[in-house]
Structure 1
């Protein structure tokens, strides 16, 4: 954690609920704060909150359920809708303002010493150290790359005015996030601190051997579309030792075996670590938290980026160019063919 956090007694950790990745990647920082004796307060929503409760239990001073952003409005089963995003932009701005007012009310009661916000723009304090963790300080798209970079980085420069510093879970050199957190147009070196890869997983030897580990994740309804696609192709996996996790906290107790394929509703950190270490190949989304896990475990993957999500599309292209992974669109996924590549 940044050196400036060492004097804090009460730390408010806030998590974006857009997928589980924000919760999984920041979990090591939360655990480190608890181990050092800080009083930790968790602000999250939905599946992210359920995951954090499951992992942290009563080691946290208090949990707060605070809704963040309605990005599900811009996703449909076919993917991202630019038109819906533009139409809903005023709502998203209002949601940021509303969460900031709600957080100020919490602060008035609990008097936080420090704020650590994982991609929640309204969770900050004007008179306390407030850090914003992000792996995309600008956006790079397949088309009009430099225009997208300038526009999005300029927006993040405005966000930076509310925060002490941007915290980036990557290294300054040999980056795994590429242009998303490097080669800035506007941001200064003092604005950004690179803290290295954050992963709740560790590389370990395991007696268990798997051919494939398939991790289903992402925001709804795209997570369900991914799940339906994989489950419809289970025949292609027969004869191969395979574990599928559905990434759904509400299905945490679900377990089913179909031939050589085991399906789990959700895996805790220990079991996720075991399965990923055991697998020869991992089939997964190309979210940044997953990219960090793969780098930590030194694993290859078949990436299936969420349609219309520029970060995942860029990371999939970037790591394919580095020779780390294969990439396929969900609508073109054919497990029998793609796993043979």
Structure 2
């Protein structure tokens, strides 16, 4: 009997949504399902590199970009909303075509609102049951929750109770029955390796903010005497030219190579994106966070990590070596320890 085919479709907004789908895709294969990948841009390329043996399809792109001024991000997204709504319609059409072409048995969408089909079990993955947007948080959260209700289940990559990583974002006062918690989703395993780097920079996220932070960090880290690995987060085979002897620059790292580099580093300098938090919690790493300007979610998570004593953070404009050194005084991140029953979770795809 042929295994049941499940579409896994992460949004292409940075690489975090795609990377957190990696352990989920592996679990599907482990439980006898056949995952089929769908995304666009760098997210699709990353998953194709991780799973060259799986079928992969391109979906319409949201073309989400940041502003160079973080304070304008919310308003830019608001102005982009007609384009986003149009793209959701295109996604629905593309999803229907894939269902018919591939005879799918289920759909897992990571933050793609148009990837669902009414005659199949549909799952939506998010760590944001509440969506922070400043003084419009109540409205943005309600709109997001209404979209989530269109799906049979919502899977939240976190622990259901305390301790947890997402805090207010991933926990409602009264969660619906369709909300299931996955525990930490990370493609990495902790290994006790000899320390090769004192600092490792792990950049990610859409432009222009990724590039702006890259310039700031390269400028201010060049006076450090510590051994530094600088991963730019750019899928490009052209070598990056720079002349600071203690800084080793890589455009990107994948899979075991990235896992080895993280395990070999003392302190990770990164955006406070939720997938990054999950990876560092799994690896029990010390960190220094620099939230993306204007992204309320990352600002909240960075502040929460500092309040809990896990890791410090600062605004990218004020980054300095002196601030970075405070990371030594924090405990580092930890896995909350919740273990998901994947056999029970995936039974949804056997029911229709």
Could you tell me the TM-score, scaled by structure 2's length?
0.86
Equivalent of 2:56 in 50, 54, 63: 63
State the distance in 2 between where 1:212 and 1:169 align.
27
The whole-number CA distance in structure 2 between the counterparts of 1:8 and 1:168 is 25
Deviation, structure 1 residue 254: 5.9
Deviations 1:224-255 (A, max 9, x none): 11112222224223x21110101112248769
Q: Secondary structure at the match of 1:140?
A: coil
Provide the aligned length of Structure 1 versus Structure 2: 323
How far apart are the structure 2 equivalents of 1:291 and 1:101?
Answer: 34
Q: What is the aligned partner in structure 1 of residue 8 from structure 2?
A: 13
Per-residue displacement from partner, 1:211-235 (whole Å, max 9, x unpaired)?
A: 1011111111111111122222242
User: 2:242 & 2:21 partners in 1: Cα distance?
Assistant: 30
Q: Report how far residue 296 of structure 1 moved.
A: 0.8
- Runs (4 or more) in structure 1 with deviation over 4 Å come to 252-257
Residue in structure 2 matching 1:306, options 288, 292, 303: 292
CA drift at 1:191:
2.1
- Give the secondary-structure state (helix, strand or coil) at the position aligned to 1:71: coil
Secondary structure, in 3 states, of the residue corresponding to 2:226?
A: coil
Q: 1:154 deviation in Å? A: 1.8
Question: What are the superposed Cα offsets for residues 243-286 of structure 1, whole Å, 9 maximum, x if unpaired?
Answer: 01011122487697731211111011212211211222110000
Partner of 2:166: 177
Output one character per residue of 1:49-106: Cα deviation in whole Å (capped at 9) or x when no partner: 1111111112x0x11111332321xx22222433322222222111111111111112
Residue in 2 aligned with 1:96? 88
Q: Separation in 2 of the partners of 1:41 and 1:229? A: 39
Deviation at 1:305, TM superposition (A): 0.3
Unaligned runs of 5+ in 2: 327-352
Q: Give 5+ residue unaligned stretches, structure 1.
A: 1-6
Aligned mates of 1:256, 1:184 — CA distance in 2: 50
What is the CA deviation profile of residues 21-62 of structure 1, one whole-angstrom value per residue up to 9, with x for unaligned ones? 01111101112222344222110111111111111112x0x1
Relative distance call for 1:308 and 1:230 in structure 2 (3 A) is same
- The answer to whether residue 214 in structure 2 is matched with residue 227 in structure 1 is yes
Which residue of 115, 132, 135 maps to 1:140?
A: 132
Is contact 2:289-2:302 (8 Å) kept? yes
Q: For residues 169-195 of structure 1, what are the alpha-carbon distances to aligned partners after superposition, in whole Å with 9 as ceiling and x for unaligned? A: 00012110000011336x42x021001
Kept in 1, the 8 Å contact 2:3–2:32? The answer is no
Distance in structure 2 (CA, Å) of the matches to 1:273 and 1:63: 24
Of residues 21, 24, 27, the one that matches 1:29 is 24
Aligned partner of 1:213 in structure 2 is 200
2:350 aligned residue:
none
